[in-house]
Structure 1
């Protein structure tokens, strides 16, 4: 969709990490500005947490949501 020089695109990609062979699907959004037929601004948003997790093959991550230590959770390679 677009209005004037601003364009927005929404969708989803399925990625596979080459070495670990982990696959995940991520929603994405793109915002771009086009002037005289050229892209002058480009912003790409995706689920970077899922992308990073696709490279994990073993071990566990401890995730802390905010300053409250009780709001931690662990993520293993098999979750």
Structure 2
């Protein structure tokens, strides 16, 4: 945790397990917050949302489009 004036930053990692699929993943996270008069006035949470979403996957194939050019698409398989 780092703080300067009213801005606070927190860094760490957590491990989640999806309830039904039972897939577990560990993700880094960071939080940026601003505190004014003892209250949080701004809160931003960042995590690996791709890992979070993939923890619900139980099979099949994903086609990921990362660019306007569809030839750059790639597949993710189980």
User: Would you say same fold, with TM above 0.5?
Assistant: yes
SS of structure 1 residue aligned to 2:64: strand
Q: Please tell me whether residue 41 in structure 1 is matched to residue 42 in structure 2.
A: yes
CA offset digits 1:10-64 (Å, max 9, x no partner): 1111110011000011111100011122111111000111101100101110001
> Normalised by the size of structure 1, how large is the TM-score?
0.91
Instruction: Tell me the number of residue pairs that the alignment of Structure 1 and Structure 2 aligns.
Output: 77
Instruction: Give structure 1 regions of 4+ aligned residues with deviation exceeding 3 angstroms.
Output: none
Displacement of 1:68: 1.6
List runs of 5+ in structure 2 lacking aligned partners: none
Farther-moved stretch of structure 1 (35-44 vs 15-24): 35-44
